[in-house]
Chains A and B, each alone.
Chain A
């Protein structure tokens, strides 16, 4: 980490806080000043207490307490102002702090939803997550605790120092010398401490990684009697973490006592130096000044010690803010499509736009010359000479041309990395092509609004991701107003109804995001039901049945075939028995189409497909 503060991030962070709470923050600032001033005037009063009120009363027969009582009453008023200010600013800061955090949180999430798939593919999930867990946490600490505290401490320090200067210049010089010493100490210790904290952070990452790996492989460890070796290895990295944690905390822990006790030393020096000055009659020293100075020095050094505690907090928060802003600055997914999807009524080939659900859709194409055209959604997909690479200069698809006519089932076959999934990524525009053209019902997909394009494509992916909620909610995920009847019908179609009914609460059984209480095959069935409920005109199945046994798969397949009758289906499967009845099978190898045709034709060709089919090549 650079030693200098990252002022750009600080500025932006402040701007973020002030954006919605300008007036509140000005009020807070005023109140903090009032509160700190009340605090300092209390110390100043102590000074006058001895010299102005007590000393004059000494050795007098009937001392007059009225001036003292009057002064105390004045102080009480000041105290009340201080107390009220403290309460009000604390109260306002709650809303400012929590409100700002909520805004940042919401903005971050909304932004994340708009990022292109590429962002998620190139960043580790854990890394994205830590924006919400670690980074926002550090900000919370800073905003709700750090800022008002730092402000108030800072004002107290400054006010105390001014009060000292007014009271006595000589003792003030002593304080300045000590102050510099304290600053040097802080800088030295804090820089060591933050260095070790960074190291600790790294080691924690490593230990977390190791634990994560071992815990997920725990069953393998048991099967191989590997427990002792696993313990031994863990002990090693655990000790490493201990060392780093010990060092980091050591430095953090000694900062406060060091500064507090330097403060104590200052306290002692003031008394001694003050005493010497007084005895020798130098510098207009009085007993009251010494007493006041001793107190003032406390209100000067204590905040410095406390401020030092905030340094780590601030450094970490700035690092967190920087990461948050980085994510917010990512380029969002661009969408300049203007062709939209509408419900349609079709009479004698004439298409009429309608609001209600008709089971038919049309593309509403507003041409640049003002012409409005409706094109029926049929699911005709063409790719012409498509080139694509995830990274520059590294093409994974070369010259891919293909078409899927409405109602056809097209299968993609090939080894891992051959480019099957990439093709589907391009059709729904998770990624945009580099060269060539993709048309959907004759329209260039770049012209179609992304949301509408994706709504017209049903996707079932190999890795099933469910959302915390009931099974019914998960099936109805893409269809807000689905009825129970529709949900059950979709589940039946996916052959999921049987096992769902056997679950403790049937369709209302809760599942968590990883679906840990369901088997992989069951999750795949739910995922198929989830896609089927939308009744999409085009369906993309990417290894959708890989974890389902062949017998169940057959039943699901039949259901799907019935559902998708007259619609376009793109299938990726490594179990070739599932794609046998496709209209066309496209065999990919290293991003190029090497064979295409029906099953029987390809078998007769005795090419790559034949070898794959007969098991001579591995697919994965």
Chain B
């Protein structure tokens, strides 16, 4: 996992390495200062040697200044390295998602992808910064401190050598012990947030069912569980500081006693004793830091894993070698097609589909919710791959085309359609970034959108709010159709895309299609019979199978389902419906 994540460090490798190097210099200076100080005390002050004081004093000031400079630079570099790493990571994840097929997208929910790109990356960034700073700093400090103590006095060095591993072991033991509890707590917090989110969204349901107390009870229960677990973990963490203090005080007492003995015996100087005291503090502080880093890393580990999950997800749709870059016409053939979203033959949502649509034809598809209409058309631009059988466009299997070419030629207006923040023009231009303003107006006229767009004060430069909140449902659908038309596709698919458009405009759009783009194959999925009744062919779907194919009048006579749908929409008012 680490290897995969660290790949994203890339151009920030140098700073990532320089950070600990600078840090090491700072640590080295920090270690040198007590050592020099002991010489200053012993040789300079104790002997009253002014020259010594001046020389070593100057060295000390230089050392402290260097420590300052390198410490600050290292902090700056660490910020750059970790922010840069995070930037690359976000970009890698984002770009990876761009390569996902629909199948991959379905696998991760939108909100989970958003969390990975935001919270998870931030966690990893924090941990990375901790690692290149503290995780390097602490061991170096410990190592240098022990070496220096040994240089000063081997016997006292041994006290350190014993104390350090004991403390280290205890701290890591504690961190290890609380880790699973923390993991549990964070899961519970996730759940708590989920309850809050559901309540905020569904506040109308809560209020109208008068279930406020039930929800408060639910919340308090989880809140209590979090309290219990968090307290449990922190109770154990509460041992950290006293353990640390036991070690410090024990070492101080031992050093005081033995130090006094050695000084009296003449094998240690007062100055050396002072530096030994500083080393022990530095060392134990570093251990504390190390245990903190340990906890940080374990927390970020989860996030790292979630990120790698995305990075390692293989897009399941790929171009074949030597793909075809030209779609000759808009003929579509389904041959014995079976399809399942989970790639399981038993759970097929489309079964034994055989259908031929000729170039330029208008085809309507009718059926109930979950009958497989959308699944069927999704196979044409190869948004999903068939589970069995084959889909051909212009006589060639869709798998043999270059994906981009295919999707440029098969334009689709999705059922759940999105507009993006930006102007109307920006949104339409999604279909073709190089389109001129005239072309945009032309497709908008075709989609019967020009009239309402020019009615806006800012016309084509009207800003669309996020999710298209400031246009009506029918207007949004027409904009989406215009966007799809701008591609000048050979095949145009409308997946229930005129449901909010009034019937009159709906028929105007179809009329425009007939007259202006006669060579384009048009597939229209609709709930309203009126949207498909003038099609060349109407396909009736039921339970993943094609029930019947035919013209309106024909189906009305021969197909029960079609007739039922028709009556459900027109009962008692046929006279009125036909006037349209």
Contacts and interface: CB of A to CB of B under 8 A. Distances in A.
B569 A117 contact: no
A230 B259 CA distance: 68
Given A258-B72, A615-B503, A224 B572 contact: no
A245 interface: yes
A223 B91 contact: no
B249 A250 contact: no
B132 to A, nearest CB: 11
A147 interface: no
Given A222-B407, A513-B198, A275 B210 contact: no
Most buried by B among A254, A264, A451: A264
B274 A291 contact: yes
Given A91-B238, A454-B209, A553-B568, A268 B61 contact: yes
A516 B416 CA distance: 14
Given A102-B224, A580-B573, A261 B503 contact: no
Interface stretch (B40-48, B454-462, B544-552): B40-48
Interface stretch (A165-173, A236-244, A312-320, A437-445): A236-244
A224 B369 contact: no
B270 A467 contact: no
A268 B528 CA distance: 87
B325 interface: no
A549 B369 contact: yes
A620 interface: yes
A87 interface: yes
Given A125-B200, A519-B370, A603-B573, A549 B40 contact: no
Interface string B82-100: 1110110011001101111
Interface string A98-133: 110110011001101110010010000100110011
A620 B472 contact: yes
A262 B207 contact: no
Interface string B233-274: 011001111100110010011001101110110000010011
Given A50-B270, A120-B200, A215-B97, A618 B472 contact: yes
A287 to B, nearest CB: 6
Interface stretch (B111-119, B152-160, B162-170, B515-523): B111-119
B274 A249 contact: no
A287 B430 contact: no
B231 A98 contact: yes
A94 B527 contact: no
B565 A550 contact: yes
A268 B40 CA distance: 10
Interface stretch (B142-150, B211-219, B299-307, B354-362): B211-219
Interface stretch (A69-77, A372-380, A383-391, A583-591): A69-77
Interface string A256-269: 11101110110110
A514 B202 CA distance: 10
B45 A548 contact: no
B386 interface: no
A65 B261 contact: yes
Interface in A55-91: 57-58, 63, 65, 68-69, 72, 75-76, 79, 82-84, 86-87, 90-91
Contact of B277 (A46, A91, A209, A217): A46
Interface string A551-570: 11110000000000000000
Given A129-B200, A219-B414, A231-B94, A79 B281 contact: no
B433 interface: yes
A79 B252 CA distance: 10
A257 B97 contact: no
A561 to B, nearest CB: 14
Contacts of A271: 37, 40-41, 45, 57, 60
A615 B578 CA distance: 11
Contacts of A480: 214
A69 B260 CA distance: 10
Interface residues of B, number: 160
Contacts of B53: 272, 275-276, 279
Nearest to A115: B203
Interface in A519-555: 519, 521-522, 530, 534, 547-554
Contact of A615 (B102, B412, B504): B504
B177 interface: no
Contacts of A278: 45, 48
Interface string B535-551: 00000000000000000
A220 B417 contact: yes
A352 interface: no
B196 interface: yes
Interface in A12-42: 42
Nearest to A549: B368
A76 B503 CA distance: 91
B383 interface: yes
Given A274-B45, A416-B472, A499-B370, A231 B95 contact: yes
B474 interface: yes
B404 interface: yes
A250 B87 contact: no
A397 interface: no
Contacts, number: 427
Interface stretch (A398-406, A455-463, A483-491): A455-463
Instruction: Give the size category of A's interface with B.
Output: 35 or more
Contact of A253 (B75, B99, B111): B75
Nearest to A137: B189
A226 B430 contact: yes
A482 interface: no
Contact of B260 (A53, A144, A256): A53
Contacts of A10: none
B490 interface: no
Contact of A86 (B40, B245, B472): B245
A195 to B, nearest CB: 15
Contacts of B230: 98
B211 A477 contact: yes
Contact of B71 (A241, A257, A617, A619): A257
B533 to A, nearest CB: 13
A94 B235 contact: yes
A65 B72 contact: no
A208 interface: yes
A252 B277 CA distance: 29
B151 interface: no
Contact of A521 (B63, B281, B370): B370
A459 B203 CA distance: 12
A348 interface: no
Contacts of B194: 468, 512-513
Contacts of B94: 211, 231, 234, 238
Contact of A416 (B71, B277, B421, B473): B473
A620 B188 CA distance: 41
A554 to B, nearest CB: 5
A34 B518 CA distance: 90
Nearest to A208: B118
A360 interface: no
Contact of A238 (B91, B246, B433, B570): B91
A230 B422 CA distance: 13
A459 B246 contact: no
Nearest to B575: A603
A128 B196 CA distance: 9
B216 A109 contact: yes
Nearest to B265: A63
B573 A105 contact: no
Given A231-B98, A534-B209, 17 more contacts: A46-B252, A57-B260, A58-B264, A79-B245, A82-B249, A98-B234, A204-B118, A213-B467, A222-B102, A223-B411, A226-B430, A253-B133, A287-B46, A294-B274, A416-B473, A468-B195, A615-B506
8 contacts: A50-B273, A79-B249, A213-B420, A227-B98, A238-B91, A261-B68, A271-B60, A550-B565
Which 7 pairs of residues, A with B, have the shortest CB-CB distance?
A615-B503, A257-B71, A253-B75, A465-B202, A620-B473, A249-B79, A478-B209
